[in-house]
Structure 1
Amino acid sequence: MLARGAALAALDSEGAAHEGVAILLTDDAAVRELNARFRQKDAPTNVLSFPAPHNPERHLGDIALAFGVCQREAEEQGKPLAHHLMHLTVHGVLHLLGYDHIGDDEAEAMEGQERAVLAGLGVPDPYAAGQGRE
């Protein structure tokens, strides 16, 4: 339910229709395999986004969250796991909507949008001092 609410809030923030988004909460090994297969990085990561090719069913794409990585990051950053999962879901949906964070300007725009969406959900700024980039 947390992921669904976060995904819908991110879609609403961009005026996007409530297109289909599949969200997979899985173990680190499964995300490591996906990361190796699609990004040639043989390590787990917190979230992966896979935009869908244009299709008539209006499926925006898929998001995979590595539960173990997310849990460890939340503990290390001293934040509730629920808040971290909501943040990463918003992050993943924004990637599906075309956001990126390769350059500083892109990262600033994406992080600003994440902050705005999360604030609407009652989640504190995930990039506040001492928490770093995720």
Structure 2
Amino acid sequence: MTRGPVRLDVAISYAVPRTGVPAAASFRRWAAAALAGRIREADLAIRIVDTKEGRALNRHYRGKDYATNVLSFPAELPEGLPKGVKLPLLGDLVICAPVVASEAREQGKPANAHYAHLTVHGVLHLLGWNHEDDREAEAMEQLEREILAGLGLPDPYAGE
């Protein structure tokens, strides 16, 4: 576990109207909470998209023809980088605003809490966490609960 503050550079881009979508400062705070104690420095991008772009990305990269709530694209180091040189580039998150809003309504959750959860979830994927089997899913969900509780947010899995 890494000690000390995280040097974090998060670029936020909005490809949707900002109404109902959290401010960039919120996304930065949620990403920092997910990274705290796990990594010293990171550069990442978060893009908030509409259903059309979310669906196109999910279809192209995952072969699934629908918009999903969050996509994580971990960065890969370029070939030929000298041994021992490490870049702080963590990767990109794509969050589909209409899907998040719809899920929040359906699940009876505040939209901001759902955005926070999906940001934390996506950042953990960038760090290598997965939920491919029950054991991995349980561990990842518990870590998400702890991070969100530290932000004063409720358990995103309560009631499931």
In the superposition, the TM-score normalised over structure 2's length comes to: 0.78
Aligned pairs (5 A) from 1:19-38: 19-38=42-61
Identity, % of aligned positions: 51
Residues 32-68 of structure 1 show CA distances to partners (whole Å, capped at 9, x for unaligned) of 1100010000100000000000255411000000000
How many correspondences in the alignment? Answer: 129
1:47/1:92 contact within 8 Å kept: yes
* Structure 1 runs (4+) greater than 6 angstroms displaced: none
Q: Does 1:90 align with 2:113?
A: no
Structure 2 unaligned blocks of 5 or more: 1-24, 79-85
Amino acid in structure 2 at the alignment position of 1:58: P
Q: How many Å apart are 1:75 and its aligned residue?
A: 0.6
Give the Cα separation in 1 of the matches to 2:136 and 2:87: 29
Give the Cα separation in 1 of the matches to 2:41 and 2:150: 17
Give the Cα separation in 1 of the matches to 2:112 and 2:26: 7
Give the Cα separation in 2 of the matches to 1:115 and 1:96: 17
Partner of 2:41: 18
Give the Cα separation in 1 of the matches to 2:147 and 2:61: 28
Give the Cα separation in 1 of the matches to 2:111 and 2:26: 11
Give the Cα separation in 2 of the matches to 1:27 and 1:68: 6
1:8/1:18 contact within 8 Å kept: no
User: Which protein shows a greater Rg?
Assistant: 2
Structure 1 unaligned blocks of 5 or more: none
Give the Cα separation in 2 of the matches to 1:6 and 1:66: 17
In the superposition, the TM-score normalised over structure 1's length comes to: 0.92
